[in-house]
A and B are shown apart, each in its own frame.
Chain A
Amino acid sequence: MSETVRTKLEMAKTPEGVEGPGFFLTSMEKAVGLARKNSIWPLPFATSCCGIEFMATMASHYDLGRFGSERLSFSPRQADLLMVMGTISKKMGPVLKQVYEQMAEPRWVLSVGACASSGGIFDTYSVLQGIDRIIPVDVYVPGCPPRPEQIIEGLLKIQDLVGNESLRRRNSEEYKKLLNKYGIE
């Protein structure tokens, strides 16, 4: 057998808590956060070249599955993370918003690439100048298009948010206000 590449495997870090022989105690929030952040199911909303980069990110070379996200969801019902990749024209805007609204809580949004984040080079009447005009965005990934490493970095940032989110956040007044700002009930 030829030389095998061995990389150091890293397990998910144990959250703070009380440990003893045969048991482990931690807060509900930390346990749920740990489970959520390591099994994010993304919904790819790929409309242009960033989508091609995303395909590379999903494929064997970069393999988003290493981070617990190999299961793409093409229905918003089972998705946790909406990945918007590519130019969103103003005609596409309501469609994107509808898909976002039909996702189950808790939901996160990752805006990949210059077009989704700000309209990019398409400073024209027909293109939405950033998806944050219609839906709240959690993490932006710059680049035109970004490399797969950058998309992975974006996902890791989302994982940080997911892991540290308070369980009460989605029921809070603050969050409701944020949604209302976008005209979402």
Chain B
Amino acid sequence: MTNSAQDYLPIVYTIIVAAGFVVTTMVATHKLGPKRKSKKKLESFECGIDVQGNARIPFSVKYFLVAILFVLFDVEVIFMYPWAVNFRDPDGAGPLTGLGIVGFIEMITFMAFLMVGFYYIIRKGALKWED
């Protein structure tokens, strides 16, 4: 069996049909559908109430800092869920099959590292809202 460029022609056809369908549909709907571009129609939708001010205003960077720190410690807590499930009795075979004291020490170590980071951001003043 030989491979030639001609064998790939169906793919080209598929691409033409796919792109052609999108372009035709878009053009047809824009040409055929009725439109009413009045001033009120083009205003931004605010549940029927007059728009007040501009949505593009500068925000304090503190929002970002708090949000990203929240995500960090949030993920840490999510790690604790599977750990807690496996801690004592993962498959109902008895308490001795769990992670036991070793798992406990591992989690304490993990938490301790993160607590160092937590202490750092508090001392750094990252969570202080007022200047």
Expressed in whole angstroms, the Cα–Cα distance for A113 and B48 within the complex equals: 22
Expressed in whole angstroms, the Cα–Cα distance for A97 and B40 within the complex equals: 10
List residues of chain B with CB within 8 A of the CB of A126: none
Hey, what's the 0/1 contact readout for B13-47 against A, CB within 8 Å counting as 1?
A: 00000000000000000001111101111010101
Interface residues on B, range: 10 to 19
Minimum CB–CB distance for A158 against chain B, Å: 17
Judge whether A94 and B48 touch: CB under 8 Å.
Answer: yes
Expressed in whole angstroms, the Cα–Cα distance for A184 and B40 within the complex equals: 9
Please give the number of chain A residues whose Cβ is less than 8 angstroms from any Cβ of chain B in the complex: 20
Which of A77, A99, A184, A185 meets B48, CB within 8 Å?
Answer: A99
Which of A77, A106, A167, A185 meets B45, CB within 8 Å?
Answer: A77
Minimum CB–CB distance for A29 against chain B, Å: 11
B5 at the interface (CB under 8 A from A): no
Judge whether B36 and A185 touch: CB under 8 Å.
Answer: yes
Main secondary structure of the interface of B (DSSP, over half): loop
Judge whether B38 and A101 touch: CB under 8 Å.
Answer: yes
Within 8 A of B (CB), among A162-185: 167, 170-171, 184-185
Minimum CB–CB distance for A102 against chain B, Å: 6
Main secondary structure of the interface of A (DSSP, over half): helix
Q: With A96-B48, A98-B48 as given contacts, are A185 and B39 in contact (CB-CB < 8 Å)?
A: yes
Minimum CB–CB distance for B99 against chain A, Å: 46
A75 at the interface (CB under 8 A from B): yes
Which of A101, A104, A106, A170 meets B40, CB within 8 Å?
Answer: A101
Minimum CB–CB distance for B24 against chain A, Å: 14
Hey, what's the 0/1 contact readout for B37-76 against A, CB within 8 Å counting as 1?
A: 0111101010111000000000000000000000000000
A86 at the interface (CB under 8 A from B): no
- Measured CB to CB, the nearest residue on chain B to A98 is B48
Judge whether A105 and B35 touch: CB under 8 Å.
Answer: yes
Q: With A170-B34, A171-B34 as given contacts, are A185 and B47 in contact (CB-CB < 8 Å)?
A: no
- Measured CB to CB, the nearest residue on chain B to A170 is B34
List residues of chain A with CB within 8 A of the CB of B49: 95, 98
Minimum CB–CB distance for B18 against chain A, Å: 21
A76 at the interface (CB under 8 A from B): yes
Minimum CB–CB distance for A75 against chain B, Å: 6
Judge whether B45 and A102 touch: CB under 8 Å.
Answer: yes
List residues of chain A with CB within 8 A of the CB of B47: 95, 99
Q: With A95-B47, A95-B49 as given contacts, are A184 and B34 in contact (CB-CB < 8 Å)?
A: no
The 10 A-B pairs of least Cβ separation, nearest first, read A170-B34, A95-B48, A185-B38, A98-B48, A105-B34, A99-B48, A101-B40, A105-B36, A102-B45, A106-B34
What is A's interface to B at a CB cutoff of 8 Å?
32, 75-77, 94-99, 101-102, 104-106, 167, 170-171, 184-185
